[in-house]
Structure 1
Amino acid sequence: MTDCTRVTVTLDHEVVAGRNARADFRQDTYQHIPGSVLRGALAAVWIRERGTEITSSQSFLSAFEGDGSFGPLYSRTGYPVPLSVAVHKYAPGDDCQRRWWDRARGENATHCEQCSAPLEASKGKPQESVELIKRTMSELDAGGVAKDGQLFSQSAIAAKTRLSGWVFGDAVHGLAVGDEPIITVSLGSRRSLRGQVRLTTAEEVPEPLERRNDTDVVLRLASPAVFCDEFGFPVDTPDLTELANLLDVEVEPITDKWVRWDEAGGWHAASGLPKPTERAVAAGSTYLLRCDRAPTDDALRLLHARGIGLRRREGFGALYTAPEPVAEAACESS
């Protein structure tokens, strides 16, 4: 299998991966580390160690601008509850043991068979929340006095949190500068004050993607994905040719899908400019692929590590498998 590495970070300081700019002077944070944040932090180490001229070298371009993938880093139970999952609309009773029904697995119930309560579709929220802290700050004037109307608060992922994910292909070479592995990086905003994490790697391969049966495969998005048609317009389904080539099978047009639209942007720290805002398919979106024959486990591992769609090196199109017991417990607490 092509190069694939599992990356784990342990937060020495709190980390802010900002999201959802708001008008009430509050800033939320992702409860995971997007792949674009990991990519930018590793590139910053290269530039700090070798100078800005390294950005024009073949090794840098291959690692950070090539065909590899920087996946998001999640806690074990922090992945989104798939959009294909139905959960109790209201809090279930104590005697109700079942917590989710996955339509991608053919479970199409509208009411719980135990308590008869109605079900509703998952909104793609995290299965379980990581520990977050909130800090309230104020901008100061030259005399050190808080300015009127400049009070704001910010959420951050707490220190000691452990998160992990996959780096694939040429992107694996970005985990070391020359022969020296990168063991500490700074993630998120205000990196002079916080964001330091310890980074460990392991040469592993992910488990195969889920099968509904021998020939049907379930794809679940761990991060927003960018797909387009032959004219460059956004679409909500992956490219069948891409999937067929990766799995070495013929794939039928996708009719069973559970998706939501999202918008994904960001900030390019090196240039000090905003990244283009993409119309993307939201994390948690799920597809059922019907293949003409059974894909091999190695092909399903490859697809899991690589991801699908465009801008994968920036963390888009990452995939995951959803262990049922974790999601059931999450739905109970949601």
Structure 2
Amino acid sequence: MTLTLVDDLVLSERSATTGGHRCLDRIPGSALRGWAAARLYDALGEDAWAVFHSGAVRFGDARPTGPGGQPSWPVPLCWHADKGRPDRPPQVGGAWLAEHLFNLAEAPDPAELARVVAQPRGLRDGYVTADGRCVRPVHRERTMTAIDGDGVVADGQLFSYQSLARDQRFEGYIAIDRTVPRAVAERVLGAFDGTIRIGRSRASGYGRVRAQVGPARTPPATPALAGPTLRLWLLSDAWLRDASGQPTLCPEGELLGLPGARLDLARSFIRTRRVSAWNAHRALPEVERQLLQAGSVITLQRDGGYVADELQRLATHGIGFGRALGLGEVLVDPPLLRGLHPSFDAAQAPIRPAEPAAAPAAPAGSPLLAFLAARSRRSSHADAAAGFVADARRALLRRWSAIRRYQALAPETPMGPGPSQWGAVASAAMRCASVDALRIALLGAAEGNGAPRGAVPAGDGHWDAMKAHERGADGGARRLSLRDWIAETLDALSADTRFAGDDARLDAWQRLCADARRLALHTGQAALDDAQRASGRVAAKEQA
């Protein structure tokens, strides 16, 4: 099932109504199951039990797709990069670099491992495809306020949502046992033919998703294991309970239907989280679930090995409880977890990015020389950032003033982005690894390539609604807005050779946004005049 986001989609990690909300990076099966129940539960009559309570129908998580539409899986927690080698990044240009990744589930003994990787750092986010593509869903943040019954802004009711940006594609599945009548199965699939609405804040313009059901992908072949080691890669969260019905976070073999199998803690990499789901139909919270997190890797040892039926059951039905909600999906002994370095599908290997230039060796010397060199680098970055901010601020003031004059706005009339809008474009840099990624996050990508729209789309009411008529370099006229200023400033930032790399450039962008936010130019002409006078004094001082 392919899911394309028509609107931004709010899928909060927790159901609380206070505090900051982090959005999931996937569409959970529980959200898809909830949509199907809202559409079909009453109409199915007695068949509703088979669909929604028996476990015969399972709604899997929908994960982001790769650039070619290929499925992706959460990065396994056993993958590590070498923190002490910044010249060997785990991924470059949207591709994971196999020779820079270390699978510690297959690591040698500690003494040998120290010679292979000096400072292992675990990877905690992102997705990987069979051909080694790195997929990271794009999130967007928006700050809003509640409205009183008389239509004015409620005092102290400011809140924000983090959401999955629209125009992204996800792929999920619905597994239906043969015990379900074919007519009932077709009705379940028919509920996902067209536009569906899921997630939070649907009345505020969120939640429309275009769904399309297609033929099932061929599942990966279940391997035949000859040895005592079995490795399970969690593709979704898993909910386990012990023999007494209590939740447990220790995936022993007995709980997985593998009697006699022992958990190998040294080669298992497990993270956990708690979920307190909200049942919208009953208007009550569900039972709190303590889950093993997607991406966890479980390694089991059993003398005598494993039989084919056990492995087939794990691959088909997963582990634990809540499988109808998409929980417990696993890959059994996947190829990407064999060997110290992953081996990607050579038939679909991504284009190799250019190898980054090796960092120059640090000069030999005393600790004092190292300290002075580090301070010099920090000072150089501060000077470069200050120069960039000053140049960009002057361009911003010119553009802002030109727009106000061209639009003939009264001095007291507000215009342009306020503090929350500047905060949004600044925080985008915290989620991007390069200036190019920041450009896509803010302005979107070229039309027709299926990339998501940016946080500052064309026609935006704060950034692009008002424009000034200016003369172009070729003598012709052009209409320019504050959104165009963002594009020009990002171009200048990419070409600025004063910065050591993208990390320094992204830091300079955040400094610029903080500086512009302090100016409060949106409040009217008076703030703009004050900023122009202050900028003129600084320029005169620099010339003197």
Which TM-score bucket, shorter chain as reference? 0.7 to 0.9
Do the aligned partners of 1:227 and 1:238 also contact (CA within 8 Å) in 2?
no
Deviation at 1:261, TM superposition (A): 2.8
Q: Note the alpha carbon deviations across 1:234-254, whole angstroms, 9 max, x for none.
A: 22205537534xxxxx76222
Equivalent-residue separation in structure 2 for 1:210 and 1:90 (angstroms): 36
Letter in structure 1 aligned against 2:100:
R
Map 1:278-293 to 2 at 5 A: 278-290=289-301, 292-293=304-305
Do the aligned partners of 1:131 and 1:157 also contact (CA within 8 Å) in 2?
yes
Deviation at 1:266, TM superposition (A): 0.8
Q: Match for 2:214 among 190, 195, 201?
A: 201
Inter-CA distance 178–138: structure 2 relative to 1 (3 Å threshold): closer
Equivalent-residue separation in structure 1 for 2:172 and 2:227 (angstroms): 27
Partner of 1:32: 26
Q: Does 2:79 align with 1:70?
A: no
Letter in structure 1 aligned against 2:197:
S
Partner of 2:193: 183
Deviation at 1:118, TM superposition (A): 0.7
Q: Does 2:4 align with 1:10?
A: yes
Q: Does 2:172 align with 1:165?
A: yes
Q: Match for 2:273 among 262, 267, 289?
A: 262
Do the aligned partners of 2:14 and 2:277 also contact (CA within 8 Å) in 1?
no
Same amino acid, percent of matched pairs: 23
Partner of 2:251: 237
Deviation at 1:176, TM superposition (A): 4.0
Q: Match for 2:145 among 138, 158, 164?
A: 138
Inter-CA distance 282–178: structure 2 relative to 1 (3 Å threshold): closer
Equivalent-residue separation in structure 2 for 1:23 and 1:267 (angstroms): 11
* Bigger proportion of residues as helix: 2
Letter in structure 2 aligned against 1:202:
P
Q: Note the alpha carbon deviations across 1:109-140, whole angstroms, 9 max, x for none.
A: 65473xx5411334x42334211122211101
Deviation at 1:217, TM superposition (A): 3.1
Partner of 2:506: none
With normalisation by structure 2, the TM-score equals 0.50
Computing the radius of gyration over CA atoms, which structure comes out larger, 1 or 2? Answer: 2
Deviation at 1:288, TM superposition (A): 2.0
Inter-CA distance 23–195: structure 2 relative to 1 (3 Å threshold): closer
Partner of 1:105: 106
Do the aligned partners of 1:212 and 1:218 also contact (CA within 8 Å) in 2?
no
* Bigger proportion of residues as strand: 1
Equivalent-residue separation in structure 2 for 1:252 and 1:39 (angstroms): 33
Q: Match for 2:47 among 56, 59, 71?
A: 59
* DSSP 3-state at the match of 1:147: strand
Equivalent-residue separation in structure 1 for 2:189 and 2:152 (angstroms): 49
Unaligned runs of 5+ in 2: 67-71, 91-96, 128-134, 337-341, 345-351, 357-431, 434-544
RCO (CA 8 Å, sep 6+): is it higher in 1 or 2?
A: 1
Equivalent-residue separation in structure 2 for 1:274 and 1:239 (angstroms): 31
* DSSP 3-state at the match of 2:74: coil
Letter in structure 1 aligned against 2:136:
S
Do the aligned partners of 2:4 and 2:168 also contact (CA within 8 Å) in 1?
yes
Partner of 1:317: 328
Partner of 1:247: none
Deviation at 1:304, TM superposition (A): 2.8
Moved more, 83-92 or 132-141: 83-92
* DSSP 3-state at the match of 1:283: coil
C-alpha RMSD over aligned residues? 3.6
Q: Note the alpha carbon deviations across 1:67-110, whole angstroms, 9 max, x for none.
A: 23222110136643222222233562159963321133345665
Q: Match for 1:45 among 23, 33, 39?
A: 39
Letter in structure 2 aligned against 1:75:
P
Q: Match for 2:284 among 270, 273, 278?
A: 273
* DSSP 3-state at the match of 1:46: helix
Unaligned runs of 5+ in 1: 1-6, 245-249
Letter in structure 2 aligned against 1:134:
E
Moved more, 278-287 or 26-35: 278-287
Aligned residues: 310
Letter in structure 2 aligned against 1:65:
H
Inter-CA distance 102–135: structure 2 relative to 1 (3 Å threshold): same
Deviation at 1:312, TM superposition (A): 1.1
Letter in structure 2 aligned against 1:63:
V
Inter-CA distance 209–306: structure 2 relative to 1 (3 Å threshold): same
Deviation at 1:195, TM superposition (A): 1.4
Moved more, 183-192 or 266-275: 183-192
Inter-CA distance 220–178: structure 2 relative to 1 (3 Å threshold): closer
Moved more, 191-200 or 233-242: 233-242
With normalisation by structure 1, the TM-score equals 0.78
Equivalent-residue separation in structure 2 for 1:206 and 1:167 (angstroms): 13
* DSSP 3-state at the match of 2:13: strand
Deviation at 1:227, TM superposition (A): 1.3
Inter-CA distance 204–167: structure 2 relative to 1 (3 Å threshold): same
Letter in structure 1 aligned against 2:206:
R
Deviation at 1:306, TM superposition (A): 2.0
Equivalent-residue separation in structure 2 for 1:280 and 1:167 (angstroms): 21
Q: Does 2:82 align with 1:93?
A: no
Partner of 2:94: none
Inter-CA distance 313–190: structure 2 relative to 1 (3 Å threshold): same
Equivalent-residue separation in structure 1 for 2:327 and 2:87 (angstroms): 38
Inter-CA distance 142–197: structure 2 relative to 1 (3 Å threshold): same
Inter-CA distance 170–211: structure 2 relative to 1 (3 Å threshold): closer
Letter in structure 1 aligned against 2:53:
E
Equivalent-residue separation in structure 2 for 1:202 and 1:215 (angstroms): 36
Inter-CA distance 79–265: structure 2 relative to 1 (3 Å threshold): farther
* DSSP 3-state at the match of 1:37: helix
Inter-CA distance 129–281: structure 2 relative to 1 (3 Å threshold): same
Q: Note the alpha carbon deviations across 1:196-218, whole angstroms, 9 max, x for none.
A: 22222323342136778666432
